[in-house]
Structure 1
Amino acid sequence: MIDTATKILSTLSKRGEMTLEDLAKSLPRKFNDHRDFYPLASLLSQGYIEDSHALLSDSSSAVRTLASKNQMISWRLYAMSSAEQSASYKGHTWSVHGGSETLKGQMLALTGSGYLRLEESRVRRNDRLFAILLAVASAAIAAYFTVLFGSNAAGA
């Protein structure tokens, strides 16, 4: 089973970039609130995904630790994922002014770090598959020789 963070990175890698609205639709919904956005918020705060609105919310004095930063980002993403020009959630408000830009239409894309993390995940997966294949092959060969030499010893 693929974890949510790797799924997000893979989706962005395949599509190049996506709107927040489209990416939010692909997130698994367990709670139907900001908690569903924690994997995406974590990827944003770690620099794996570009976020054009990060500078607006990260300058807040309320953002002190990584945990509170991730919480603030998840609130923002949840509120903005279905908003046009303005969004409010948990006492915070985010807005965009001018033009046809919308909050839910903000584009998100992988950064270089995001591509590296995704590639590391693929390499680890391939290494695990190779190790499993090697273990099964070794067990089958050992069983074959045990049966082969065991029957010769019993017949002698």
Structure 2
Amino acid sequence: MATLWKKGRGRLGLFQPLLGHWIARADSPMGPLRCLRRLEPVLGGKYLQHTVRWEFGPGGSAKVYEEHALIGVGDSGQPEFWSFTSDGKHSHGHLADASDLHPEAIGFEARMPAGLARMVFWPEAEGGFSWVVESRTSKGWNRFVEHRYLPLADA
């Protein structure tokens, strides 16, 4: 399989293809969903800020859920994330292998109150990327969210 993503330099270089503004649209149990993601370097490029805004319901009446996360090199010397959400929750996780989904997948795992969870990004041949959140079960990974993102300008 040909490589779809060109990675940058340094420990955070693998996130180069995800930098920018992205949008996904999907149906959800709460109605239509619009999700905006932005990933950009901050603090002299030592960290990446990942800003996410979920808008549920028809335009103008949307219920909003937000996340602010920092991605940086942790004490382990590997990329980690620190996430804070508008419902008052927070999480911390580390880079993890997700090549079972795609050879170029970028995944993070985090220990959550309900158990181990992971979020994974991987490139789509037509452009953009897929993103999922899964929880670990005794039978493997259980997917409960999946979106396809396109550059905001293309949506």
TM-score (norm 1): 0.23
Structure with bigger strand share is: 2
TM-score (norm 2): 0.23
Structure with bigger helix share is: 1
Which of 1 and 2 has higher RCO (CA within 8 Å, sep 6+)? 1
Larger Rg: 1
